[in-house]
Structure 1
Amino acid sequence: MYYAQATDQFNMVAHKLMIFFGIIMCIFGLIGNILNVCVFAIWSRSRKKINRYSSSHRTSNSSLYLLASSVANLIIISYPLLTRILLDGYQYRVTRTNVLILCKFRYYALHTFDLISLTCICMATYDRYLLSSRKVRLRQMSARRQRTKLSILFIIVLVGLHSIPLIIYYDVSNTGQCEIFPIEYSYYYLYVV
């Protein structure tokens, strides 16, 4: 009897904390990522060359990657985090009628935009490494602005295609939770991805 009451109290505290800290994370995350988008949008604009030795197209490539990463993070905070607050904080149950929005698309968006953000940060780091190298050959390997945009588009398409099985395999369990049902894909998702 005592353990059941303690478990109920623990669950109630966990739900209250999820609501409180989830909303705080959402507010500050949205503000921070909107500011990041503004800063990186300004930095990624084409600048006129100051002199003939400066190459302005190479100064803004990493800011394009970071802009794409910030937009992806903004999407992660605005959709998957808000639905997490709704599902876990307010104990809203997923049913067969809302499974597409609250289960399948939520995990697709979370997985896709999380990987896009991570990949763009890695590409920005790699671009900065190339530009700061002492070797001329490595500095010349840094992509031009148009190739950087194509690289970002390629990353978005590739990660979006890679995440399609999440829409197919996520479904609602008998307890109202979103779960991956084929056990083979859940192993792949948990250990490989």
Structure 2
Amino acid sequence: MSSITTTATEKYIHISPYFIIYLNAFISIFGLFGNLLNIIVFINLRSFRRNPCVFYLMIDAIVNIGFSITANSNSFIWCKIKTMLINSFSLISMLITCFAALDQFFATSPHYYLRRRSTLKLSYRLTILSIFCGILFGIPIILYCDIYSTVGCIIRNSRFFFYYSYIHVPLLYGIFHSCISSLFGFLAFRNVRCIIRQRIQIVRRRLDRQLTAMVLIRIIFSIILSLPYVIYCTYYLNVIDFIENSVQVISIQIIGIICSSLAVINASASFYIFLIFCTRYRHQVKFVLTKKLWKPLRKKICLRHNQIKPAIEPSMNDCTTESKF
């Protein structure tokens, strides 16, 4: 029986790194494509350009690209840097999601003094604060992590390990992120349901409804996809020193692979979630890809082939179509 277990363990140790690499690479490619499309749509649509909530969503897409690329690497040489970047990107994304929900709560509030808080200036400051917090948290990971040939990077400082395993992961990533983001997300949703009573332009109402729906969907899926990894990390960090049976080690590592893949999906799926659940966003993506990107590209291709065509000014139909978004 022990020989069979040993053989299974050896096979798992040999296969699991390749499985993780290929699985995360597959997810990351789709995530990179989706997050880039999010950024392109946010930049090219006029109604999105100077909106604080859209700015948060765009920063979240950029951070998610960094997270997906970093999580896909499986090299022991830069294990400490990878661990630092993953934790920094996760913290920044978590804070940005909370700030996006807070901004939508401000933007949809029936009270004017709260609506005044939804500004690009505040979003710039809070984004800088998020990046600063991510960098600040990454410094002790570089200092207190050691590389082990069998398990990767492990925190060796007892005080920082206590903070990371009992405060940072369960409280900050788990409870704080879930409670704060969902609280302001649902408050914004409640405000949107009463927004018809306010004296706000119809275009602004539609935009607020769309962004509130997008932020709320992002929050719900973020909690669903990241919470298993938070629970796994909390459990793993507290039992790692007491595990001796190889079967238990394999079982925990398999669960870890599933949970880490869900975390990578969380960083990769926002575009596809918006596309599935938001009809207006689907039309906006189609408009940007066909009118904003494909039309100019087709004109350049025609010019390269020396096909002389009269200059075509943007039609009133295109302008009217964009104004709907």
For residue 25 of structure 1, give the secondary structure of its aligned residue in structure 2. helix
Q: Tell me which of 126, 144, 147 is aligned to 2:102.
A: 126
Q: Distance in 1 between matches of 2:28 and 2:136?
A: 27
Aligned pairs for 1:27-42 within 5 A: 27-42=29-44
**What amino acid sits opposite 1:166 in the alignment?**
I
C-alpha deviation, 1:129, in angstroms: 1.1
Q: Tell me which of 66, 76, 93 is aligned to 2:67.
A: 76
C-alpha deviation, 1:23, in angstroms: 1.6
Q: For residues 61-84 of structure 1, give each alpha carbon's deviation from its aligned partner in whole angstroms, at most 9, with x where no partner exists.
A: 0011111111111111112x222x
| Pair 1:161 & 2:136 matched | yes
Q: Distance in 2 between matches of 1:141 and 1:23?
A: 40
Query: What's the counterpart of residue 64 of structure 1?
Result: 55
CA-based RMSD of the aligned residues comes to 2.0
| Inter-CA distance 14–174: structure 2 relative to 1 (3 Å threshold) | closer
C-alpha deviation, 1:174, in angstroms: 5.8
**What amino acid sits opposite 2:52 in the alignment?**
N
**Native 8 Å contact 2:21 2:72 kept in 1:** no
**What amino acid sits opposite 2:133 in the alignment?**
L
Query: What's the counterpart of residue 124 of structure 2?
Result: 149
**Native 8 Å contact 2:38 2:58 kept in 1:** yes
Q: Distance in 2 between matches of 1:182 and 1:121?
A: 30
C-alpha deviation, 1:141, in angstroms: 2.6
| Pair 1:140 & 2:129 matched | no
Query: What's the counterpart of residue 25 of structure 1?
Result: 27
**What amino acid sits opposite 2:85 in the alignment?**
A
Pick the structure with greater CA Rg: 2
Q: Distance in 2 between matches of 1:19 and 1:39?
A: 30
For residue 141 of structure 1, give the secondary structure of its aligned residue in structure 2. coil
- With 29-38 and 154-163 compared, the bigger mean Cα shift is at 154-163
**What amino acid sits opposite 1:40 in the alignment?**
F
| Inter-CA distance 107–124: structure 2 relative to 1 (3 Å threshold) | same
Q: What's the % identity of the aligned pairs?
A: 26
**What amino acid sits opposite 2:72 in the alignment?**
L
For residue 172 of structure 1, give the secondary structure of its aligned residue in structure 2. strand
**What amino acid sits opposite 1:20 in the alignment?**
Y
| Inter-CA distance 184–174: structure 2 relative to 1 (3 Å threshold) | farther
**Native 8 Å contact 1:104 1:171 kept in 2:** yes
Query: What's the counterpart of residue 182 of structure 1?
Result: 157
| Structure 1: tracts of 5 or more residues without a match | 47-59, 88-93
- With 183-192 and 60-69 compared, the bigger mean Cα shift is at 183-192
| Structure 2: tracts of 5 or more residues without a match | 169-325
Q: Distance in 1 between matches of 2:132 and 2:18?
A: 38
**Native 8 Å contact 2:80 2:147 kept in 1:** no
- With 166-175 and 124-133 compared, the bigger mean Cα shift is at 166-175
Q: Distance in 2 between matches of 1:175 and 1:11?
A: 10
Q: For residues 122-161 of structure 1, give each alpha carbon's deviation from its aligned partner in whole angstroms, at most 9, with x where no partner exists.
A: 111111111112222322232x222321221122113212
Q: For residues 142-187 of structure 1, give each alpha carbon's deviation from its aligned partner in whole angstroms, at most 9, with x where no partner exists.
A: 2x22232122112211321232111111121364621111122111
Looking at secondary structure, tell me which structure has more helix per residue. Answer: 2
| Pair 1:45 & 2:43 matched | no
For residue 163 of structure 1, give the secondary structure of its aligned residue in structure 2. helix
TM-score normalized by structure 1?
Answer: 0.76
For residue 84 of structure 2, give the secondary structure of its aligned residue in structure 1. helix
For residue 146 of structure 2, give the secondary structure of its aligned residue in structure 1. strand
| Inter-CA distance 19–157: structure 2 relative to 1 (3 Å threshold) | closer
Aligned pairs for 1:97-112 within 5 A: 98=77, 102-112=78-88
C-alpha deviation, 1:13, in angstroms: 4.3
C-alpha deviation, 1:6, in angstroms: 2.0
